[in-house]
């Protein structure tokens, strides 16, 4: 696992995939998806790999935050 893999946020990745999927289902008519039905497994895998190379992983990095401050419950 590389440095960038270790810092990827599952939350941001899932949110992006869900949002993109919803948008694609609205914007792209079903007949335009039929081209993928004729793909061989290897051809489909290659297409997915080509798309994956275009992903900017830096957009999905975890955001680190400072440790929480301890609350002082002492009575003055």
pLDDT band, residue 9 (cuts 50/70/90): confident
**Average pLDDT estimate for 37-49:** 94
The neighbouring-strand residues paired with 8 are 61
Which among 28, 29, 47 is positioned nearest to 39, based on CA atoms?
A: 47
**pLDDT higher than 90, residue 21:** yes
pTM over 0.75? The answer is no
- What pLDDT does 55 receive? 86
pLDDT at residue 12, rounded to an integer: 86
The structure tokens listed for 53 are 């190379």
Question: What's the angle, vertex CA 20, arms to CA 35 and CA 24, rounded to 5?
Answer: 40
Which run of H or E residues covers position 52? helix 41-53
């Amino acid at each position: 696992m590389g440095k960038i893999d270790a810092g990827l946020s599952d939350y941001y990745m899932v949110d992006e995939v869900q949002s993109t999927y919803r948008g694609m289902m609205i914007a792209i008519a079903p007949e335009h998806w039929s081209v993928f039905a004729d793909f061989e497994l290897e051809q489909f895998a290659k297409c997915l790999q080509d798309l994956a190379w275009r992903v900017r992983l830096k957009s999905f990095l975890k955001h680190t935050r400072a440790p929480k401050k301890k609350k002082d419950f002492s009575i003055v």
